Structure 1
């Protein structure tokens, strides 16, 4: 694993970012985190000093991003307004942070002579097409500003690779879960919300009929996909890669499993489906496995148990 030199992680105090930072430190890397703490928390980085340098900054501030990129060997760009619902509520903010912010990161990386950039994208770029599983060669059809912003980031990475030789990799995540995922956020994902409810002896709210499916992926395997990009061949740069197990689990089934872990009955409240939510989601991740050499554990049940144990310990 090539973690020589400084590793810049934008959004490194957030859920996925902090898990990546911890793994980089375990591998002996020096890490610089750039985060505005709008969703992340410094406590996610506790105990990592002095291997981690923290810079509080905004992706929309081009000068601050340029300064953060100085001396970096690689950039892991996870910083974003990472919510479908947030983009429905405030599409302008989503564009400024996710599109202009990503452009600022790429410009800074190019100016600093960064070797590789790994961009966190999203399965939401596929939209709600019924064809399953999702492959990277399918035509994107984003339904929200968030999905569109991620697609724009992918294209910017491809363009910077083609025009300037900056080696960029885009990873499309499918419903990541694991420790340090904040259930208190207004835009929290479904697993921490369900876990918080059941751990407190309450029933969760399910939007829609609960038969919509998701391809849930444990965060440690998403971290492994990011790191796989460092050792991938140069010919893989400029590409887009699905990161998921390839399984379909309904939201009802998910809630039943978490209820069982908590020793609670399954009796959720149902509410109308939210705008922008897709009905079905499942990935074909064979390209990432073949080209990047990504080898996920694929153990959803073990990941769910580890995540629940972490939530109980909080």
Structure 2
């Protein structure tokens, strides 16, 4: 955990992605301790925006082009680090052609490589970016009980329906807990974001922003039973740092600004952007989902204050329009 009296070196995997970028920004803005960051990026991807995040970014960020499946390369990035934030994991809204190669292997083997390298380096805590997708869908969850950190995605249910991203996140996280159980001296804490919204600092559109973008151009996709809520990406980044720096933090931390129906999210977006062709969903788009305002109670108890979801939606939408991913004047088609 963080030592408040010295400079500290930490590793962030997938540092130039959406969550990774905001996490790097949050770490750079901390004064006590003063973080230096070993930032892993997928080879040939662009990390240039990371150096715009802080006046000292150039001197405090070291870039490591790393395929997470390469254990030697992963080890080189984690060596001499006191902590690791393992964010890197493939995420897409499209159905994979080869689920094993595109999603499962990078998520599971990549997590194992990070944990093994962390153990060799003497890292005391690894903060794992898991996902709401490792908690739902769970068809056997008690009716009228709000989802909490004890819920696990039903992997077989997802496999039968070809939903491979939840499978990848669930199997990767379960591997992390098994590793923690078998290896003394290394700690693991997991953060479970929902749909992350906010300003796009990187050039590419991430999967969570694509959910909003598709909704605003008329998509009727209800996200099935995977939807639990949204969260500002800066709150996700703060949650990672918070659980890293809090010695008593342990286990899984749900990170959403409340659990609610996708229909209510769509209604909020429509109220903010009435000129856009946003589909009106039935109130019960997901039967059995129990809303909960303070679902992320464990993070709230640690001191995290969540950003109003309206602000996250507006920042995300304006960013999508500014970068040309969404027309500022809605199409009439």
Q: Output the TM-score relative to the length of structure 2.
A: 0.76
Match of 1:204 among 218, 222, 225: 218
Whole-angstrom CA distance in 1 between matches of 2:317 and 2:205: 18
CA 1:58/1:211 → structure 2, altered by over 3 Å: closer, same or farther?
closer
Please state if 1:168 is matched with 2:181: no
Please state if 1:134 is matched with 2:147: yes
CA 1:183/1:71 → structure 2, altered by over 3 Å: closer, same or farther?
closer
Please state if 1:193 is matched with 2:213: yes
Task: Say if 2:131 and 2:194, in contact at 8 Å, map to a contact too.
Answer: yes
- Counterpart of 1:215 in structure 2 is 229
- Counterpart of 2:108 in structure 1 is 99
Match of 1:156 among 153, 175, 191: 175
Task: Say if 2:127 and 2:243, in contact at 8 Å, map to a contact too.
Answer: yes
Whole-angstrom CA distance in 1 between matches of 2:196 and 2:276: 25
- Partner secondary structure for residue 150 of structure 2: coil
Whole-angstrom CA distance in 1 between matches of 2:25 and 2:129: 17
1:89: how far off? Answer: 5.2
- Counterpart of 2:242 in structure 1 is 228
1:95-128 CA distances to partner (integer Å, 9 max, x unpaired)?
2100001000000000011121000111112214
Whole-angstrom CA distance in 2 between matches of 1:135 and 1:17: 25
- Counterpart of 1:22 in structure 2 is 25
Task: Say if 1:84 and 1:145, in contact at 8 Å, map to a contact too.
Answer: no
- Counterpart of 1:178 in structure 2 is 198
- Counterpart of 1:6 in structure 2 is 9
- Counterpart of 2:254 in structure 1 is 242
Task: Say if 1:245 and 1:296, in contact at 8 Å, map to a contact too.
Answer: no
Task: Say if 2:68 and 2:106, in contact at 8 Å, map to a contact too.
Answer: yes
CA 1:89/1:67 → structure 2, altered by over 3 Å: closer, same or farther?
same
1:306: how far off? Answer: 2.6
- Counterpart of 2:300 in structure 1 is 289
Whole-angstrom CA distance in 2 between matches of 1:128 and 1:162: 24
Range with bigger deviation, 134-143 or 177-186:
177-186
RMSD: 3.3
1:42-69 CA distances to partner (integer Å, 9 max, x unpaired)?
2431323122111111000111001111
Task: Say if 1:31 and 1:51, in contact at 8 Å, map to a contact too.
Answer: yes
- Partner secondary structure for residue 46 of structure 1: helix
- Partner secondary structure for residue 82 of structure 2: strand
1:258-304 CA distances to partner (integer Å, 9 max, x unpaired)?
4554562435599xxxxxx99958673223334xx141324111222
- Counterpart of 1:108 in structure 2 is 117
Task: Say if 1:119 and 1:171, in contact at 8 Å, map to a contact too.
Answer: yes
Q: Output the TM-score relative to the length of structure 1.
A: 0.80
Whole-angstrom CA distance in 2 between matches of 1:249 and 1:64: 42
1:159: how far off? Answer: 2.7
Whole-angstrom CA distance in 2 between matches of 1:267 and 1:243: 26
CA 1:188/1:212 → structure 2, altered by over 3 Å: closer, same or farther?
closer
1:216: how far off? Answer: 0.5
Task: Say if 1:213 and 1:281, in contact at 8 Å, map to a contact too.
Answer: no
- Counterpart of 1:273 in structure 2 is none
